[in-house]
Amino acid sequence: MLKEFLKQKKFSVVKKLLRSVGESNFLGVDIGTASIKAAELEASPLTGAPRLNNYAILESYSHLDRLNTAIQTSSLKMLEKETAELLRAMLKKLGSKTKNAVASIPSFLAFTSLVEVPALSPQELAQTMRYQAQVIVPLPLSEVAIDWIPVGEYTDEKGVKKQQVFLVSVPNEVVLKYRSVFKAAGLNLKALEIEGLSLARALTFGDPTSTLLVDIGARSTAIMVAENGLLKYNAQTDFAGSSLTQAVASGLGVSVRRAEELKKQKGLLGQGGEYGLSTLMMPFLDVILSEVKRAKNIYEENYHGKIERVMLSGGGANLLGIEKYASSELQLPVVKADPWKKVEFPAAAAPILAEIGAPLAVAIGLGIRQFIS
Ligand SMILES: Nc1ncnc2c1ncn2[C@@H]1O[C@H](COP(=O)(O)OP(=O)(O)OP(=O)(O)O)[C@@H](O)[C@H]1O
Ligand SMILES: [Mg+2]
């Protein structure tokens, strides 16, 4: 069925969607495993800069109770009907001015690679990238949409100029699923990109500091390297916020919901009797941080770059005390993601910006896409 659909030239539609062009007012939509987040951005009437018009975070607590009620899982099983309903409910609340949406695909649904090639003509580069995709993507090329973005260059030991090109490929099945969910929710899906691209744009545009972005979600942690708004490396681990909650629940013998509350209230800073909380979470946080170290080493050894700092995003970045702990473990400066540097916002949002910035970073990166790319 899918193959037939693709044969009828829908494949080119899929490809186009990954590259699409923008209009002026957009809704960035990030469908995570535990929540859907949206940010509506418009051009500021005074400066023309992106301005947050409205945002929404719809958390689904059901994922805490049962695995199969997560909005989407790493095995490609986004629950289409439920997700469309959640999206529609969210739109109603948001009272959005636009139906135009840009959405992100989680890292774990894409295949990416940083490819280093000599200076090539656009035709030669296209050929090389197609060949590379054949090597790295575990699916036939007829079943994936591929795209590539030049992200840097360097001169090697022999004085030869090399360019670095970031290759992204997404299964057509995933793209088609997103299209149908957005259609069912009454939205026009104008573009799709992997979430790392949105984060790189929101958090590093105009900043050449080589940055490890660590997005700690509920079900997975994405570990990326970005600079100047460009994504250069993308890895992922299944240890994330839920792992910490589970550790607290089983360690203290409390319900997962209670454990979630305690984690959010005390984080790593609990004193006295609560000290046990951080002791329970630490081994899992250490697994996440060892994956971060691994990604750093792989990147530095293979791709001619040196990581200068770490930026934490996703809901997990709000864990109290995480920056200090991560900084001492990683021996690098660690800061919480602040997407507000690029975006104007209504004064009423000011008091909560620090808290919502890290979880909303992907949605904001999507919403500012038409202002920047
Ligand atoms: N204040 C807080 N302290 C600690 N953890 C927090 C806090 N706020 C949210 N979290 C955790 O962040 C996680 C949710 O993060 P986020 O909203 O980025 O996930 P998601 O995007 O839905 O998931 P994923 O990216 O894995 O698909 C949950 O595990 C939640 O417990
Ligand atoms: Mg997420």
Atom of ligand 1 nearest to the CA of 72: 27
Residue 131 has a pLDDT of 93
Fold for the domain defined by 14-244+281-372:
Nucleotidyltransferase; domain 5 (3.30.420)
215, 313 in Cβ contact below 8 A?
yes
321 C-alpha to center of ligand 2: Å?
20
Atom of ligand 1 nearest to the CA of 36: 22
Residue 342 has a pLDDT of 83
Distance CA 288, CA 282 (A): 10
Residue 358 has a pLDDT of 97
Bridge partner list, 146:
169
124 C-alpha to center of ligand 2: Å?
36
217 C-alpha to center of ligand 1: Å?
5
Q: Which residue from 63, 75, 219, 238 has its CB within 8 A of the most atoms of ligand 1, so it is best to mutate?
A: 219
Work out the pLDDT band at 56, boundaries 50, 70, 90.
very high
Closest of 323, 201, 218 to residue 268, by C-alpha: 323
What is the pLDDT averaged over residues 154-169? 91
Residue 355 has a pLDDT of 92
281 C-alpha to center of ligand 2: Å?
20
pLDDT tens-digit series, residues 115-139: 999 989 999 999 999 999 998 899 9
Distance CA 117, CA 32 (A): 34
Work out the pLDDT band at 304, boundaries 50, 70, 90.
confident
Distance CA 325, CA 321 (A): 6
Residue 373 has a pLDDT of 59
160 C-alpha to center of ligand 2: Å?
39
pTM: 0.90
Decide if pLDDT at 288 tops 60: yes
220 C-alpha to center of ligand 2: Å?
8
Give the up-direction half-sphere exposure of residue 279: CA atoms within 13 A in the CB hemisphere.
8
Residue 129 has a pLDDT of 94
Atom of ligand 1 nearest to the CA of 320: 3
Q: Give the ligand at the shortest distance from the Cα of 199.
A: 2
Contacts of 323 (CB under 8 A, 6+ apart): 312, 334, 335, 336
34 C-alpha to center of ligand 1: Å?
7
Higher pLDDT, 329 or 372: 329
199, 224 in Cβ contact below 8 A?
yes
Residue 5 has a pLDDT of 30
Decide if pLDDT at 12 tops 60: no
pLDDT tens-digit series, residues 142-159: 999 999 999 998 888 889
pLDDT tens-digit series, residues 169-196: 999 999 999 999 999 999 999 999 999 9
322, 314 in Cβ contact below 8 A?
no
In the chain, domain spans: 14-244+281-372
Distance CA 234, CA 225 (A): 7
Work out the pLDDT band at 16, boundaries 50, 70, 90.
very low
What is the pLDDT averaged over residues 220-227? 97
Decide if pLDDT at 3 tops 60: no
Range ranked top by mean pLDDT from 1-10, 54-63, 341-350: 341-350
Distance CA 178, CA 58 (A): 18
Bridge partner list, 164:
116, 152
CA-closest residue to ligand 1 atom 17: 315
106 C-alpha to center of ligand 2: Å?
7
Decide if pLDDT at 336 tops 90: yes
Residue 38 has a pLDDT of 95
Mean pLDDT over each residue of the chain, to the nearest integer: 87
Q: Which of 271-275, 276-280, 309-313, 352-356 has the lowest mean pLDDT?
A: 271-275
pLDDT tens-digit series, residues 57-116: 988 755 545 444 455 554 445 678 888 888 998 888 888 888 999 999 998 889 999 999
CA-closest residue to ligand 1 atom 25: 217
Residue 256 has a pLDDT of 92
Work out the pLDDT band at 239, boundaries 50, 70, 90.
very high
Q: Which of 44-53, 73-82, 229-238, 355-364 has the lowest mean pLDDT?
A: 73-82
Q: Which residue from 29, 31, 33, 269 has its CB within 8 A of the most atoms of ligand 1, so it is best to mutate?
A: 33
Pocket of ligand 1 (CB under 6 A): 32-35, 106, 217-220, 240-242, 245, 260, 263-264, 267, 314-316, 318-319, 359
Q: Give the ligand at the shortest distance from the Cα of 58.
A: 1
Residue 350 has a pLDDT of 84
In sign, the C-alpha dihedral spanning 208, 212, 214, 215 is positive
